[in-house]
Structure 1
Amino acid sequence: MSLTTLRVTTDGPVATVMLARPDKLNALNATKHAELRDVLARFAEDDAVKVVVLTGEGRAFSSGQDLTEDLPRDEKGRVDLGPPLARDYNPLVLRLANYPKLTIAALNGPAVGASMNIALACDIVVAARSAYLQEAFSRIALVPDAGGTWILPRLVGPKRALALMLTAEQVSAEDAKAMGLVFKVFDDATFREDVAVFAAALARGPALAYRLTKQALAQSLSNDLEAQLALEAELQREAGFSRDFMEGIRAFREKRAPAFEGR
């Protein structure tokens, strides 16, 4: 697939997917969604890729949905936002939530509207110091989507999530870190380099253990304690059978850094 709205690069085990419509603040449209589906599917099957970084070109991560795009209409001629959500946003959020590789949302600038919730669907969010997040939907009389009403209250609590959605206030990178929405904040001047170092360090880690950990946390949202303990035992057995675990033990005993294979 020839990409027109993304720029994709790989550096060893790290793949970077850059939203590349800087003149539109990387607004999301049907073409970008189709290209994201293709790229994410390709990297999911690529054993050489351990970490996928999602970021933006220019001064924004993304301004959210491109409101200048021709949107579908119902039989009465009203704009119908249901089909784009079903076709594009919902599958993307589910794909990120269940992705077999580690995903990092690297917010080089503002993440507004649906793009904020897409970022929060990634495993880890890091941000440039000047970046901010914003549930901007109420400003155009819409309801938060792209999983926002499910993800955000689980991260910051229902009351704070509701306030952020109703007021559409901008949340600075530092405040987002304090809330638990962002894991690390990097200086603007070194943001790209810092993200690359951070992603490369994760890519050297035990990919199988990462995948099992993601599975455990995802299922914890619906499990009671007894079910979760049973799941931990099951997943720990699988991790214990791995070559990475044996390598981790050897490296610990030999006082050296482990060389994980992801299996």
Structure 2
Amino acid sequence: MDEVEVVVAHSERATLRVGDVFLKVDADQARVDAEVEAMALAPVPTPAVLWRRPPVLAIAALPGTTLGRLGGPATGSPAAWAAAGAAIRKLHDAPLPPRPGRAGRGVVALAAELDTECGLLVANDVLPADLVSRNRQVAEAALRPWTPAFTHGDLQIAHLFVDGDEVTGIIDWSEAGQGDALYDLATFTLGHEDRLDDVIAGYGVDVDLDVIRGWWSLRSLLIVRWLMEHGFDAFAPGCEVDVLRARM
């Protein structure tokens, strides 16, 4: 009998692993619909959907390993990181999916959300005012017009798997949809800035590094309080608060 491993769990959703099967429990069926639809449309390897019985989605485990995790050491060769960049580019070049994703929030709404969150971080003594102010300035670079692309929307380093120098698949597509391609690149390299050059080499297109840095700051500012409220440690070495401190 395989043991049940809790991969991640919070008030919005939970993921369990039993042998080679992942069970995703999510009461938001629209989010699950978006995930299944995105995996079917994405031109990159994705997990096989084994069955679906709301609120549970069962998918097969992917072969290979990740290139590391936020707050931990990066692994893999430069060629593996370049292969990740090439896979991300292939996704971004694909025909647009029908719905907007997390990376597709409008600039005006996103700026308003950011300003509100920055105010709360300071008012509640979560982060020093100078740290918040500096990163709010850096984040401004991400608040500009962009051409919609097919984006993953939550492309954390732990969501892409490789075997050697080959990408074997990308998981967790619930935030996928039309969005800013540079958001995906920034999310994937968050906390691993030294690997950005390898990723861009595989991506094959020059990108605006100020926008990447802007997204590092913006994403980190928006998520610190959420992480704390859901039992995660944004202050752990190499995680979101360290990303913000690196901009000082």
Q: Same fold (TM over 0.5)?
A: no
When Rg is computed on C-alpha atoms for both structures, the one with the higher figure is 1
TM-score scaled by length of structure 2: 0.27
Using CA pairs below 8 Å that are at least 6 residues apart, which structure has the higher relative contact order? 2
